[in-house]
Amino acid sequence: MQNLQSLSQLLADWQAFADKIMPLIERLGLERLGECDHAALRVNSVAAAEKLKAEFAQCGEIISENIINGRPILIIRLQQPLLLGQWQIPCVELPFPGDKHYPEEGWEHLELVLPRGAQSCDELAEQLRTLCPRTQATLDGDTDIKLKASSPKGEAERLANPTLAFKAGGVCVKVHPHSIQAIIASEQ
């Protein structure tokens, strides 16, 4: 998908995204994690983001509109969750564009929750090694899967939410210790 036109197009593209991301999840053994808290989009124009914001407001509730890394990021809780394997995904992350241009607009990543209270990326990695041993080689830098560690944070967030992102084949799976809805609740 080159130019994102509508929410209906996004929903039509969901299965193709699922078919691309499930092999990565399975290769890493991440299907053992019990919760996929949200799916994230990428758009290249403010107009596309505004259009999607309006369309999502018709089938969900915007539960957060926060500035992270200098740009608005919306979290929408859907009336009907997205389905992927064992997971019902309750939320969508809609970041407004920054200064990076994406080769494709649309579904970009999923975020999974490992709720063991990790306070740092190193601690999260150790928890993943134990629960999902197939992540070991990637965590050690011994596979073609790209690994990025980060600790993104909104202005009012009170929970540490270190994140490990695994990227391959044009898709990304992120793992963090708290769900997006718990992070939003911490801002209140």
Strand ranges of the sheet holding 60-68, from the earlier edge strand across to the other edge:
60-68, 71-84, 87-95, 35-42, 106-113, 171-176, 163-168, 146-150
| pLDDT at residue 98 in the model | 86
Task: Inform me whether the pLDDT recorded for 129 exceeds 50.
Answer: yes
Pair 183, 157: CB distance under 8 Å: yes
Residue 73 pairs with which residues in a beta bridge?
Answer: 66, 95
Average pLDDT, the chain: 91
pTM of the model: 0.90
Q: For residue range 24-83, what is the model confidence (pLDDT) as tens digits?
A: 999 999 999 989 999 999 999 999 999 999 999 999 999 999 888 788 999 999 999 999
Helices (H), the chain: 7-28, 46-57, 121-131, 136-139, 180-186
Distances (CA, A) of 159 to 57, 92, 117, 184: 27, 20, 10, 9
Domains annotated for the chain, with CATH where assigned, are: 7-186 (3.10.180.10)
Which tokens in the block code for residue 36? 């996929």
Helix or strand or coil: residue 11?
A: helix
Pair 144, 53: CB distance under 8 Å: no
| pLDDT at residue 115 in the model | 92
Distance CA 56, CA 50 (A): 10
Task: Inform me whether the pLDDT recorded for 128 exceeds 50.
Answer: yes
The rounded percent of the chain whose pLDDT value lies above 70 is 94
